[in-house]
């Protein structure tokens, strides 16, 4: 079987992948892996190449929110809607009348920070929920919306705490952070996450930082006919946040993999640069209610593409405060309470505190859930455990 590096080299040389930055570290300082792959005549990928990290933004927003819990500005389980009137007014979508009009009713349970962080608040992405997608098609919202209130003015799809669906809830969490601190999300993260870790190439607004913008690699798109990765110069569909008037905490950030590994490693070694030890521990503990966990497991068995990377049908999944959580011991190499998530352009990260390893896989290829990227991510993740002597 080919090693990860052999597979990655071949994929790039064959123009199946535009380029890769892969970085991994372990807890003890024995593993410090960094490798880049670039195709001849194409974009050069480097450690300091800037990528649109999309939903990898969510981990940083989650950290920022839990920092506010530490400071006593909010709790995980109080109703947040008094602080977010635009969220408070949303009702629950139950169906459509014969004339096509949406049928909604008022929620009876509070939306809390815990439900926002775990995608169990009832908020949803249209692409992730068929009923909400039908609503969006009926409502025909403004596709040029550049604020979170405008972009996600859509009903809930279940009572908070009674379901699970991947969602825009971290964008709402970003609004909450701004409301509680009086700071823009970029300003808050720079002061409380990026600067403490020495992250100098992370931003929601690359165009406002010429050095960062100059290192931004173009998005690659899979050509349906040839299978090649083509860099057209067009942005990804999720990059709206780069030109919006508000930072989208669910998908709007840009970063280098050299920067992003600092977040992962800080949580891995528990150095308290971001969170106190007892608070960081919550990130790696199951957070879903029984009803929400059942909904997540049902989704994981459905065969629907909603995760990047490989997730065998072990029925051992939950959600921590910052990503999907391995909730059992059946996986081939991941340990219990490993935290994982990804970004729309097939970027990917993981933290396994039991095995003492973390890694980030940087790439820019669409569509999301690209099969070739999935194979490479799987090979990379397994290779990290092998290099760390954890297989």
CATH classification of the domain holding 16: 3.40.710.10
Q: In 3D, which of 197, 175, 168 has the Cα closest to residue 68?
A: 175
Question: What's the structural domain count of the chain?
Answer: 2
Is the per-residue pLDDT at 1 higher than 60? no
Residues with active-site annotation: 55, 58, 166
- Based on the domain organization, do 85 and 138 belong to the same domain? yes
> Residues 295, 167: contact at Cβ < 8 Å?
no
Please give the pLDDT value at position 100.
Answer: 85
- Based on the domain organization, do 216 and 348 belong to the same domain? yes
In a domain, 192, yes or no: no
- Based on the domain organization, do 108 and 226 belong to the same domain? no
Is the per-residue pLDDT at 349 higher than 70? yes
Q: What is the pLDDT of residues 151-195, one digit of tens each?
A: 899 999 999 999 999 999 999 999 999 999 999 999 999 999 999
In a domain, 338, yes or no: yes
pLDDT-based confidence at residue 140 (cuts at 50, 70, 90) = confident
Please give the pLDDT value at position 331.
Answer: 95
- Based on the domain organization, do 47 and 72 belong to the same domain? no
Question: What is the percent of the chain with per-residue pLDDT over 70, rounded to a whole number?
Answer: 97
- Based on the domain organization, do 42 and 173 belong to the same domain? no
How many whole angstroms separate alpha carbon 44 and alpha carbon 204?
23
Q: What is the pTM of this model?
A: 0.97
In a domain, 187, yes or no: no
| Max Cα distance, the chain (Å) | 64
Bridging pattern class, strands 365-366 and 102-105:
unpaired
Q: What is the pLDDT of residues 15-70, one digit of tens each?
A: 999 999 999 999 999 999 999 999 988 999 999 999 999 999 999 999 999 999 99
- Based on the domain organization, do 377 and 311 belong to the same domain? yes
Please give the pLDDT value at position 35.
Answer: 98
Mean pLDDT of 2-11: 94
In a domain, 191, yes or no: no
In a domain, 61, yes or no: no
> Residues 55, 74: contact at Cβ < 8 Å?
no
Which residues share a beta bridge with 350?
A: 340, 359
- Based on the domain organization, do 108 and 139 belong to the same domain? yes
| Domain interval for residue 87 | 68-181
Which of residues 131, 153, 181 is at a domain's end?
181
């Amino acid at each position: 079987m080919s090693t990860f590096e052999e597979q990655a080299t071949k994929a790039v040389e064959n123009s199946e992948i535009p380029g890769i930055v892969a970085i991994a570290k372990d807890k003890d300082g024995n593993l410090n892996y960094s490798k880049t792959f670039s195709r001849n005549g194409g974009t050069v990928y480097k450690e300091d190449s800037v990528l649109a990290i999309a939903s990898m933004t969510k981990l940083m927003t989650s950290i920022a929110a839990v920092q506010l819990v530490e400071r006593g500005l909010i709790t995980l389980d109080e109703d947040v809607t008094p602080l977010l009137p635009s969220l408070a007014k949303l009702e629950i979508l139950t169906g459509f009348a014969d004339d096509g009009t949406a049928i909604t009713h008022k929620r009876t349970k509070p939306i809390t920070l815990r439900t926002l962080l775990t995608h169990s608040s009832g908020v949803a992405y249209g692409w992730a929920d068929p009923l909400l997608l039908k609503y969006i098609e009926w409502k025909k919202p403004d596709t040029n919306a550049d604020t979170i209130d405008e972009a996600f003015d859509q009903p809930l799809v279940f009572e908070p705490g009674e379901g699970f669906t991947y969602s825009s809830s971290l964008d709402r969490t970003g609004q909450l952070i701004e409301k509680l601190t009086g700071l823009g999300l970029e300003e808050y993260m720079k002061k409380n996450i990026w600067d403490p870790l020495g992250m100098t190439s992370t931003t929601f607004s690359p165009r406002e930082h010429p050095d960062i913008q100059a290192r931004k690699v173009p998005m690659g798109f899979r050509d349906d006919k040839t299978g090649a990765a083509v860099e057209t110069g067009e942005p990804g569909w999720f990059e709206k946040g780069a030109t919006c008037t508000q930072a989208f905490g669910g998908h709007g950030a840009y970063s280098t993999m050299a920067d992003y590994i600092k977040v992962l490693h800080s949580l891995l070694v528990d150095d308290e640069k971001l969170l106190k030890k007892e608070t960081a521990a919550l990130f790696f503990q199951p957070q879903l209610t029984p009803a929400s966990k059942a909904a997540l497991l049902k989704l994981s068995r459905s065969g629907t593409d909603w995760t990047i990377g490989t997730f065998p049908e072990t029925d051992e999944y939950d959600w921590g405060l910052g990503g999907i959580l391995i909730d059992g011991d059946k996986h081939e190499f991941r340990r219990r309470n490993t935290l994982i998530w990804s970004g729309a352009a097939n970027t990917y990260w993981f933290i396994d505190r039991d095995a003492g390893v973390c890694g980030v896989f940087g790439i820019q290829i669409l569509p999301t859930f690209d099969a070739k990227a999935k194979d490479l991510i799987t090979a990379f993740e397994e290779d990290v455990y092998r290099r760390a002597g954890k297989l």
